[in-house]
A = this chain, B = another copy of it.
Amino acid sequence: MTGSRIDPETPTRPIRLADVKSWHETVDVLVVGYGAAGVCAAIEAAQTGATTLVLERASGGGGTTAMAGGVLYLGGGTRVQKACGVDDSPEAMLRYLTASTPDPDPEKFRLYVEGSVAHFDWLVEQGVPFKDALHTERTTQPANDDGLFWSGNEKSWPYKEIAKPAPRGHKVQAPGDAGALLFAKLHEAALKSGARIQYDTRVMKLVLDERGAVVGVVARQDGEDRAFRARRGVILCAGGFAMNDTLRQRHLSRLVGRAIPIGNPYDDGTGLRLGLSARGAAIHLDEYHITVPYYPPGSLTYGILVNGQGQRFIAEDAYHGRIGETASRQPGGTVFLIVDDPIFGRPEIDGFEVVAVEESIAGLEKTLALPPTSLERTVELFNRNAAAGTDPILHKQPAWLRPLTEPPFAAFDLSFGKATYMAFSLGGLWTKSTGEVLTEDGEVVEGLFAAGRNCCGISRSAEGYVSGTSIGDATFFGRLAGRTAAARRPEGRNA
């Protein structure tokens, strides 16, 4: 290595191969980042016999996955689905995912649904436990260890008319957040596979040969800048950019000051910047997942969401992410949740203020400063239809239809900019399903791969996001990237 000091805030301008004086280590596959994507890439690469090294910036593995619920969106007839009597097919899953995504990646989607059952089985083989129990309560994720729940918009209009609904959220068997257990099991498997992990190691730059191919990285380790050669490939698995104020301002400005970023502190876009530095292209950097997590309690779903015009705008049984996105786009961001006494409950998450409690809807309308008669009309119409078990306006499922008639009536403020919204980035490097990073010209950047949130994956829009696609995608395509990189012809003469 050149020995030049690289400042922690240094730009990612690549190092030229000719400027690398010596290699600290040479391996076949080098994985940058040790979360769900990185661990799966490492397992698969190492299992082929390729020497595999993971460089992780934190002092331990897990990334954002280890902080998360531990939900994977899988379907088409997994063991858990079958045990719970759920009838699902890859076709229905593909139809649902495609319908809910403005820009579906045909090959990634096909591979993901066709390989979903096998991927579930593989996770079980790695020691990841799932309980054969369907959680029927409406929630953002089961608080107990149930293995299956409705994690998206499958039963919500218009999707219920497009694809046969099935629950596909597979939660790892642990109460509360199960992401740590998921990662622990995968980490054990990675160690068994022979992959090595080095922590407290920050990858600063890529090393490019004269053709622009990626042949290694320079990383800060033990206070030194060390060059690591990757004969077969570098796989970027370093997460999204939700936690980087600068990048969030640049690409996701409508969220700034309005949505709390979700992620681990190292979701700072370093992986994205590294990929761009080698001429990788990025897609959908303006896209994000946003949630307004006002339920549980599920009983609030019986309520209605209205905007500043006193009008409903979405079926209230939709997934919280779809509700969050749609709510955030109402005029002025103004949104209220209207409930009556029997269904009232406090959201488990803070930040949803009760801004009005009145004995009549007219009184509520006045207190909320909604246009005269607007809320009254909306509730009257909703109630009349709900009493008949229908919602011809927005097609809320009959199971959630119940007239709001019992005072007192209350309004929660769900306005964008006031209530709790949370968000993370969905855009990233443009990759083939193999993880190979592409330039804007559609050329492969030789030697460079990306997986997980470092690339743009299955979920790529706020309106289409469903829980479990992040870890589902990261593990699935992390594995594929690991296998592809390991199978790549070794780079250069010294390989």
Measured CB to CB, the residues of A under 8 A from B are: 11-13, 102-103, 158, 212, 246-247, 249-251, 253-254, 269, 272-273, 276-277, 279, 281-287, 309-312, 314, 329, 331-332, 371-374, 377, 381, 392-394, 430, 439-443
Enumerate chain B residues within 8 angstroms of A246, measured Cβ to Cβ: 442
**How many Å lie between the Cα of A439 and that of B273 in the bound state?**
9
Enumerate chain B residues within 8 angstroms of A158, measured Cβ to Cβ: 331-332
Q: What DSSP secondary structure best describes chain A's contact surface? A: loop
Enumerate chain B residues within 8 angstroms of A394, measured Cβ to Cβ: 309, 331
Nearest-neighbour CB distance to chain B for A335, whole angstroms, equals 14
Nearest-neighbour CB distance to chain B for A393, whole angstroms, equals 5
Establish whether residues B11 and A443, one from each chain, have CB atoms under 8 Å apart when the complex forms.
yes
Establish whether residues A12 and B250, one from each chain, have CB atoms under 8 Å apart when the complex forms.
no
Given A12-B441, A13-B212, are A283 and B285 neighbors across the interface (CB < 8 Å)? Answer: yes
Which one, B249, B272, B286, B310, contacts A287 given CB within 8 A?
B286
Establish whether residues B103 and A253, one from each chain, have CB atoms under 8 Å apart when the complex forms.
yes
**How many Å lie between the Cα of A395 and that of B393 in the bound state?**
23
Enumerate chain B residues within 8 angstroms of A13, measured Cβ to Cβ: 212, 279, 439, 441, 443
Establish whether residues A281 and B287, one from each chain, have CB atoms under 8 Å apart when the complex forms.
no
**How many Å lie between the Cα of A277 and that of B430 in the bound state?**
15
Given A281-B276, A439-B276, are A102 and B329 neighbors across the interface (CB < 8 Å)? Answer: no
Nearest-neighbour CB distance to chain B for A284, whole angstroms, equals 6
Closest to A391 in B: B371
Enumerate chain B residues within 8 angstroms of A373, measured Cβ to Cβ: 381
Nearest-neighbour CB distance to chain B for A403, whole angstroms, equals 16
Closest to A252 in B: B103
Establish whether residues A393 and B371, one from each chain, have CB atoms under 8 Å apart when the complex forms.
yes
**How many Å lie between the Cα of A331 and that of B315 in the bound state?**
10
Establish whether residues A102 and B254, one from each chain, have CB atoms under 8 Å apart when the complex forms.
yes
Establish whether residues B392 and A251, one from each chain, have CB atoms under 8 Å apart when the complex forms.
no
**How many Å lie between the Cα of A283 and that of B252 in the bound state?**
10
**How many Å lie between the Cα of A276 and that of B392 in the bound state?**
49
Closest to A253 in B: B103
Copies in the complex: 2
Closest to A103 in B: B253
Nearest-neighbour CB distance to chain B for A447, whole angstroms, equals 15
Nearest-neighbour CB distance to chain B for A163, whole angstroms, equals 16
User: Top 7 closest A-B pairs, CB basis?
Assistant: A103-B253, A11-B441, A371-B392, A286-B286, A102-B254, A371-B393, A276-B440
Q: Which of A254, A269, A286, A430 neighbours the largest number of chain B CB atoms within 10 Å of its CB?
A: A286
Nearest-neighbour CB distance to chain B for A247, whole angstroms, equals 8
Given A254-B102, A283-B285, A381-B373, are A11 and B439 neighbors across the interface (CB < 8 Å)? Answer: yes
Given A309-B393, A309-B394, A381-B377, are A253 and B102 neighbors across the interface (CB < 8 Å)? Answer: yes
Enumerate chain B residues within 8 angstroms of A285, measured Cβ to Cβ: 283, 285-286
Enumerate chain B residues within 8 angstroms of A251, measured Cβ to Cβ: 283-284
Enumerate chain B residues within 8 angstroms of A269, measured Cβ to Cβ: 440
Would you mind naming 27 contact pairs between A and B with Cβ atoms under 8 Å apart?
A11-B439, A11-B441, A12-B440, A13-B212, A13-B443, A102-B254, A103-B249, A158-B331, A246-B442, A250-B283, A269-B440, A273-B440, A276-B440, A279-B279, A284-B286, A285-B285, A285-B286, A309-B312, A309-B393, A309-B394, A311-B311, A314-B331, A371-B392, A372-B392, A373-B381, A374-B381, A377-B381
**How many Å lie between the Cα of A393 and that of B442 in the bound state?**
48
Enumerate chain B residues within 8 angstroms of A309, measured Cβ to Cβ: 311-312, 393-394
Enumerate chain B residues within 8 angstroms of A102, measured Cβ to Cβ: 253-254
Nearest-neighbour CB distance to chain B for A141, whole angstroms, equals 27
Establish whether residues B284 and A282, one from each chain, have CB atoms under 8 Å apart when the complex forms.
no
**How many Å lie between the Cα of A106 and that of B377 in the bound state?**
43
**How many Å lie between the Cα of A178 and that of B12 in the bound state?**
46
**How many Å lie between the Cα of A374 and that of B391 in the bound state?**
12
Establish whether residues B372 and A254, one from each chain, have CB atoms under 8 Å apart when the complex forms.
no
Supplied contacts A103-B254, A374-B381, 10 more A-B pairs, CB within 8 Å: A11-B441, A11-B443, A251-B283, A273-B441, A276-B439, A277-B439, A277-B440, A314-B331, A371-B392, A372-B392
Nearest-neighbour CB distance to chain B for A258, whole angstroms, equals 10
Q: Which of A103, A269, A394 neighbours the largest number of chain B CB atoms within 10 Å of its CB?
A: A103
Nearest-neighbour CB distance to chain B for A385, whole angstroms, equals 8
Given A253-B103, A273-B441, A392-B371, are A282 and B279 neighbors across the interface (CB < 8 Å)? Answer: no
Enumerate chain B residues within 8 angstroms of A11, measured Cβ to Cβ: 439, 441-443
**How many Å lie between the Cα of A138 and that of B397 in the bound state?**
43
**How many Å lie between the Cα of A286 and that of B310 in the bound state?**
31
